[in-house]
């Protein structure tokens, strides 16, 4: 019976509903509730429920402390506490959801603001670039307007063809532009023709110069022959009672000079007469002593040989001499000078004299130079350093400091005699001094007249330029009107600058921020070192400047240190070793040099110091410190990962704008 009932019972097929993630559904429901419910109402419910939960827990605790507490009441309190706790958790989840939604909304708004700000900066940059390009277009001027063309009537008369351009221009048959183009084309043809003619003249000039050199070489070779003929004719003239020829173009003392100094004398005297230079060349020394020196030098070989033959051998008596005496005698004889010297005196402004005296060391076959000067009107320490006779001619040419002899033989001679070349006593053996006296290092034993002639003009011009440069440096270091100079260009300076002071090499090596320059070789012992302090409100910048001997070919090197007060009434010391801003300021002054024209070389150092002060003030104003308010037009304070500063000054129609490089 049961089987029949089961068979007759219909089967019901139910569709399986998709499984729902309960956590996701509850989370979505609570997110909707967090949006729709009022935050203030939930806050009030939260605090009321919290107070109720605290009361229930308190009642439950008191009820449990009683004897025989009712279990039903305890269960009721327990259920109420659980109910209130669940309400608190629900409100806490709603609060978390609201805070997350607000954070997401805040981040979204921040991104929108950042994108708008970036778009604004891009538009400002594009606007500035377009204005700059527009100003360039407005200021464009074709270079053909600066070409000096021949007058129109001359062009009409001399141009090829029988076209009357003036008549055609008046009739309107040709435009002004076409006429100008034709004049330019004709000018180009004429200049090309003149250039060919100039090249031909230059070639003929070179041929004539080579012929002159050949003739001078022949004449130079005739001079020793004439001397030999004259010396050979002297016995014949004496036998016939004739007076010897004494035709001399210079004084007798000049002929007593050794060959190197003789070449120097006649070349400088010839250059003075040819170029009408304001210097004098004289001989200095005792003429009688020079005659005895030459006679002893000529007869020393003959007398020694005669004494060896004729003189009887005396008994040997040994007089012991101290080793120090023999060494001192050897050293003195090795460094002995010729009795005569050549003195070259340059007359400068303010009745000042610059005197160079050239000596010839006989045994070393070397020329040395000593310098003396009489400067008037210079009393500062840096002027005495710049015009110091011991260093004013150092590095006149690259690598020529005059500390060692340029001849290799002299090193071994001095080493064997165990002595040194004291430049204070005998002078400095500059390479250029050897060249103007005719010495060639490939054949140093015999000076050459042509070598002296080829170098004399170059060396004298270099010395004159060195003196002018040093006087210009003193004038620039004395400059005290930086504020006026830069205010004319649109930049106001408020810093106070102390006077320059000289600095020794030992003190330079003791400064921490100067050691990197010594290690990398940018500053050497031969450089001139100066120091000054720049005060800008509460900040103090110490500036150490190294000027190369070959200034202005090599630019000065600056080392900086900044002292700035801190919040705790202390002083923060910043330099290139511990601060990127000071390091960037040093790099700006030492690396990024503006192009200087020849006429502005006398103001190059002033411009460099002015740029340093301007960049220092810009750096302090971009730090955002209340002690340094902005007084200059700056587009952006800092930029990039390196937090670089806007040191580049750009001229604008509204004034000077500082931007990043």
pLDDT digits (tens, 9 = 90+) for 163-175: 777 777 777 778 8
State pTM to two decimals.
0.57
The answer, yes or no, to whether residue 94 has pLDDT greater than 60, is yes
pLDDT digits (tens, 9 = 90+) for 265-298: 999 988 888 887 778 899 998 888 888 888 876 6
Cis bond before residue 552 (omega within 30° of 0): yes
For 176-199, give the secondary structure using H, E and C: HHHHHHHHHHHHHHHHHHHHHHHH
Among 32-41, 473-482, 569-578, top mean pLDDT goes to 569-578
The answer, yes or no, to whether residue 115 has pLDDT greater than 90, is yes
The first and second tokens of residue 49, run together, are: 């429920």
The answer, yes or no, to whether residue 90 has pLDDT greater than 60, is yes
- Edge-first strand listing for the sheet containing 366-374: 279-284, 341-347, 353-361, 366-374
The region of weakest confidence among 1-5, 28-32, 228-232, 485-489 is: 1-5
The band of 443, judged by pLDDT with boundaries at 50, 70 and 90, is low
pLDDT digits (tens, 9 = 90+) for 640-660: 777 888 888 887 777 777 887
The answer, yes or no, to whether residue 3 has pLDDT greater than 60, is no
Confidence (pLDDT) at 251: 64
The answer, yes or no, to whether residue 64 has pLDDT greater than 70, is yes
The region of weakest confidence among 1-10, 38-47, 428-437 is: 1-10
Q: Please state, in angstroms and rounded to a whole number, the distance separating the CA atoms of residues 411 and 420.
A: 9
Confidence (pLDDT) at 45: 84
Q: Please state, in angstroms and rounded to a whole number, the distance separating the CA atoms of residues 330 and 324.
A: 10
The answer, yes or no, to whether residue 77 has pLDDT greater than 70, is yes
The answer, yes or no, to whether residue 122 has pLDDT greater than 90, is yes
Q: Please state, in angstroms and rounded to a whole number, the distance separating the CA atoms of residues 36 and 444.
A: 106
Beta bridge partners of 640: none
Q: CA torsion, points 394, 400, 404, 408, in degrees to nearest 10?
A: -160
* Closest alpha carbon to 485 in 382, 601, 609, 591: 609
What does DSSP say about strands 648-652 and 633-634: parallel, antiparallel, or unpaired?
Answer: unpaired
Beta strands in 82-166 (DSSP E): none
What does DSSP say about strands 648-652 and 655-659: parallel, antiparallel, or unpaired?
Answer: antiparallel
The region of weakest confidence among 339-348, 481-490, 499-508, 580-589 is: 481-490
The region of weakest confidence among 342-351, 369-378, 476-485 is: 476-485
The band of 124, judged by pLDDT with boundaries at 50, 70 and 90, is very high
The answer, yes or no, to whether residue 381 has pLDDT greater than 70, is yes
* Closest alpha carbon to 366 in 292, 439, 475, 442: 439
Confidence (pLDDT) at 148: 79
314 or 497, higher pLDDT: 497
The answer, yes or no, to whether residue 472 has pLDDT greater than 50, is yes
């Amino acid at each position: 019976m049961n089987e029949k009932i089961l068979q007759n019972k219909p089967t019901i097929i139910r569709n399986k509903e998709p499984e729902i993630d309960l956590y996701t559904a509850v989370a979505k429901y609570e997110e909707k509730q967090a949006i729709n419910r009022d935050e203030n109402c939930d806050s009030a419910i939260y605090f009321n429920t919290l107070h109720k939960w605290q009361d229930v827990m308190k009642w439950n605790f008191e009820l449990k402390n009683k004897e025989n507490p009712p279990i039903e009441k305890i269960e009721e309190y327990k259920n109420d506490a659980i109910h209130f706790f669940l309400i608190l958790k629900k409100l806490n989840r709603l609060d978390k959801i609201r805070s997350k939604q607000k954070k997401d909304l805040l981040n979204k708004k921040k991104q929108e603001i950042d994108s708008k700000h970036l778009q604004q900066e891009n538009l400002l940059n594009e606007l500035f670039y377009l204005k700059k390009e527009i100003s360039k277009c407005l200021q464009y001027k074709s270079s053909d307007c600066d070409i000096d063309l021949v007058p129109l009537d001359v062009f009409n008369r001399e141009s090829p063809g029988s076209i009357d351009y003036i008549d055609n221009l008046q009739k309107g048959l040709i435009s002004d532009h076409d006429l100008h183009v034709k004049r330019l084309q004709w000018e180009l043809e004429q200049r090309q023709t003149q250039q060919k003619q100039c090249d031909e003249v230059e070639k003929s000039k070179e041929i004539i110069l080579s012929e002159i050199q050949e003739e001078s070489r022949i004449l130079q070779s005739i001079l020793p022959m004439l001397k030999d003929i004259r010396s050979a004719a002297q016995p014949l003239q004496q036998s016939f009672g004739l007076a010897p020829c004494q035709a001399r173009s210079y004084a007798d003392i000049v002929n007593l000079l050794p060959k190197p100094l003789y070449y120097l004398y006649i070349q400088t005297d010839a250059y003075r007469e040819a170029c009408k230079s304001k210097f004098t060349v004289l001989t200095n020394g005792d003429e009688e002593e020079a005659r005895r020196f030459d006679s002893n030098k000529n007869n020393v070989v003959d007398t020694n040989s005669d004494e060896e033959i004729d003189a009887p051998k005396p008994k040997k008596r040994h007089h012991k001499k101290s080793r120090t005496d023999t060494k001192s005698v050897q050293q003195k004889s090795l460094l002995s000078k010729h009795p005569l010297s050549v003195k070259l005196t340059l007359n400068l402004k303010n009745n000042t004299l610059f005197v160079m005296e050239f000596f010839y060391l006989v045994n070393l076959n070397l020329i040395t130079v000593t310098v003396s000067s009489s400067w008037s009107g210079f009393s500062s320490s840096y002027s005495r350093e710049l015009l110091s006779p011991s260093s004013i001619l150092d590095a006149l040419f690259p690598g020529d400091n005059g500390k060692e002899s340029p001849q290799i033989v002299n090193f071994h001679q001095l080493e064997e005699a165990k002595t040194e070349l004291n430049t204070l006593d005998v002078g400095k053996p500059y390479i250029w001094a050897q060249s103007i006296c005719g010495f060639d290092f490939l054949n140093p034993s015999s000076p050459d007249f042509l070598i002296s002639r080829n170098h004399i003009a170059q060396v004298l011009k270099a010395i004159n330029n060195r003196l002018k440069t040093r006087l210009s440096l003193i004038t620039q270091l004395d400059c005290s009107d930086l504020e006026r100079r830069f205010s004319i260009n649109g930049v106001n300076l408020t810093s106070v600058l102390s006077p320059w002071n000289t600095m020794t090499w030992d003190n330079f090596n003791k400064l921490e921020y100067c050691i990197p320059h010594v290690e990398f070789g940018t500053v050497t012992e031969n450089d001139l070192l100066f120091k000054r302090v720049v005060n800008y409100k509460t900040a103090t910048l110490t500036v150490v400047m190294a000027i190369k001997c070959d200034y202005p070919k090599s630019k000065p090197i600056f080392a900086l240190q900044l002292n700035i007060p801190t919040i705790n009434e202390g002083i923060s010391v910043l330099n290139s070793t511990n601060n990127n801003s000071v390091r960037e300021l040093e790099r700006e002054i030492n690396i990024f040099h503006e192009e200087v024209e020849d006429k502005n070389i006398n103001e190059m150092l002033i411009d460099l110091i002015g740029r340093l002060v301007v960049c220092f003030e810009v750096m302090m104003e971009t730090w955002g410190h209340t002690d340094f308010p902005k007084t200059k037009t700056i587009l952006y304070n800092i930029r990039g990962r390196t937090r670089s500063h806007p040191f580049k000054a750009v001229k604008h129609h509204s004034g000077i704008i500082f931007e990043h490089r």
